[in-house]
Amino acid sequence: MTAIRATNLSKRYGGTAAVADLSFDVEPGRVTGFLGPNGAGKSTTMRMILGLDRPSGGSVLVDGRPYAELRHPLRKVGALLDAKAVHGGRSAHNHLLAIAQSNGIPAGRVREVLEIVGLREVAKRRVGGFSLGMAQRLGIAAALLGDPEILLFDEPVNGLDPDGILWIRTLMRKLAAEGRTVFVSSHLMSEMAQTADHLIVIGKGRLIADTSVQEFIGRSSQGYVRVRSPRLAEVAELVKVGELHPDHLRVTAMSTLEIGALTARAGIPLEELTFVQPSLEAAYMELTKDSLEFSA
Amino acid sequence: MIDILRSEWTKIRSVRSTVWTLAVTAALMVGLSALLTGSMKSTADGPVNAEQAIAGSLLGIMFAQLAMATLGVLVISSEYRTGGIRTSLMAVPQRLRLLTGKILVFTATSLVVSAVASAAALGVGLAITQPPSLPTNDVLMAVLGATLYLTACGLFGLGLGTLVRHTPGAVVAAIALMLVLPQVATQLPGAWGQRIAEYFTTNAGLLLVGQSNSETLGPWSGFGVYLIWVAVAMIAGAVLLRRRDA
């Protein structure tokens, strides 16, 4: 069954549409990136999935039902929205215990998740003193408490150091490999390129793309061949279709093989002949350039 | 529901503000009892009678009520301040069940602490004043009344906290409704003015502990009127909790 299904989902605040007529499915067994510039409506959508905000129109179902109808929802869905949204006076252990008890999750599971996220040593410390990285781990521990099939993470790597980013990335891949549904939002394409299998891209609350990462790259822009040579001007004359830059030639209409054969016949030495994959970042910028809320 | 009660109990017992507000409640009750009955005893010509002794012992309730109301506010407003309310509602998406859990756990906590604080305040006050005769019924009624009144004040705070969602705003609302406006109301002119004053929040509620006067309301009917105020705040809060985005 589809883990999350949004159908014509809309949310208006006053006269502004934060989310407009958004439909998508999130499937299990893979990491689905939820991508869009800041202010695109990602967090609003996540809050609607979790029953925190009421849609102005349309609906969103989790495992076929509205979230609010789930009994013991944390055993089905785990979510990390805002890592700093915890009472600073409570210890990590008590914070998780209160959440676990509300869904009939045994207290032993609290120790397990603290172990998984590497916070066992600081379980008794007040979370007010936690660094952002530790708070993020605590939020992930809370999401994992009910051993849920569906996981939502809202900008989980924001403010993390490289170690933390790598850890979260690995964890998300592992959770998806276990057959779970992982739905993770980010405004950073580069981050998604390394984590996601599938992308749902939105801008200004509307769906821009719902596609695999590979397709996403292919659809928006092409790759090119970069050629460097001490006799670059001659190469440019030879291939004719290139675009000459100060230190290299950029060719889109010919393959490396064709260019190589051509220059070899002419006896021109080459320093570099590379096919350059278009970056996901570039593809993303291209697609969302019309939907940036604020642009420089 | 039992799951939610256990969770709310963990929440309320695991923050310092609970311990502080409850300690302040008890300290105000006992401390002011000692202070006031002490001065009563030293200024009185003859022996202090039971009625005066009990009233003097419970005078601290005027301040303790605000500490309880503050705890009531914090039970929910602290979750709004930190954003933890979202975590709570993700765990318990049936919002009224969550609020019911908070009400029940807070009520139980408050009843126990208020009973202990009231009994201690009376014990200290009566030991100092040494009234010549002491009807047991009056003492028990005083403890019961103070316990129920303080708990109702806490629930008033919880209702206001749910409504306002903002700690300072809700505490100010509680002070205004429980302390300032009841005093202002007594200045209203005419028979209607007097009636409004008598029915106004704590003016009615305090009848149960003999700290207020009324020509039309008795101790229990006065407390009943106070509970209606509490219920109105709670229901308004509950309706908005259901309707608003978290």
Q: Residue A198: give the domain boundaries.
A: 4-218
Residue (of A51, A125, A128, A121) closest to A84 by Cα position: A128
Residues A20 and A131 in one domain: yes
Residues A210 and A233 in one domain: no
Rounded to the nearest integer, the mean pLDDT of chain B is 92
Residues A95 and A10 in one domain: yes
A50 within some domain: yes
Average pLDDT per block of 10 residues along chain B, 246 residues long:
94 90 90 91 84 90 93 93 92 95 96 95 91 87 95 97 94 94 90 90 91 86 95 96 90
A101 shares contact with chain B (CB less than 8 Å): yes
- By C-alpha distance, the chain A residue nearest B78 is A87
Tens-digit pLDDT profile for residues A169-208: 999 999 999 999 999 998 887 778 788 999 999 988 889 8
A230 within some domain: yes
A15 within some domain: yes
ipTM reported for the complex, 2 dp: 0.86
Residue (of A55, A49, A12, A17) closest to A32 by Cα position: A49
Under a CB-based contact definition with an 8 Å cutoff, are residues B188 and B76 in contact?
Answer: no
Please list every residue in chain B whose beta carbon sits closer than 8 Å to the beta carbon of residue A79: 90
Cα–Cα separations (whole angstroms), residue B85 to A74, A276, B81, B246: 15, 48, 8, 7
A294 within some domain: no
Please list every residue in chain A whose beta carbon sits closer than 8 Å to the beta carbon of residue B74: none
Residues A139 and A23 in one domain: yes
Please list every residue in chain B whose beta carbon sits closer than 8 Å to the beta carbon of residue A104: 3
A289 within some domain: no
Residues A195 and A243 in one domain: no
Q: How far is B16 from chain A (nearest CA, A)?
A: 7
Sign of the CA dihedral running B107, B109, B114, B116 = positive
- Write down the domain spans for chain B: 2-243
User: With a CB-CB cutoff of 8 Å, which residues 64-103 of chain B face chain A?
Assistant: 78-79, 82-84, 86-94
Tens-digit pLDDT profile for residues A74-93: 999 999 998 888 888 899 99
Residues A254 and A237 in one domain: yes
Residues A146 and A98 in one domain: yes
Under a CB-based contact definition with an 8 Å cutoff, are residues B209 and B145 in contact?
Answer: yes
Q: Which two structure tokens, joined as six digits, stand for A108?
A: 């032993």
Tens-digit pLDDT profile for residues B167-205: 999 999 999 999 999 999 989 898 888 899 999 999 999
Tens-digit pLDDT profile for residues A22-60: 999 999 999 999 988 888 889 999 999 999 999 999 999
A293 within some domain: no
A90 shares contact with chain B (CB less than 8 Å): yes
B3 shares contact with chain A (CB less than 8 Å): yes
Indicate if the pLDDT at residue A219 is higher than 70: no
Indicate the Cα dihedral angle A47, A51, A56, A58, nearest 10°. 100
**Pick from A54, A67, A85: CB nearest B87:** A85
pLDDT at site A295: 47
Count of alpha carbons within 13 angstroms of residue B234, beta-carbon side: 21
- By C-alpha distance, the chain B residue nearest A91 is B14
A295 within some domain: no
3-state DSSP call for residue A91? Answer: strand
The domain tally of chain A equals 2
A36 within some domain: yes
Output the domain CATH number for residue A110. 3.40.50.300
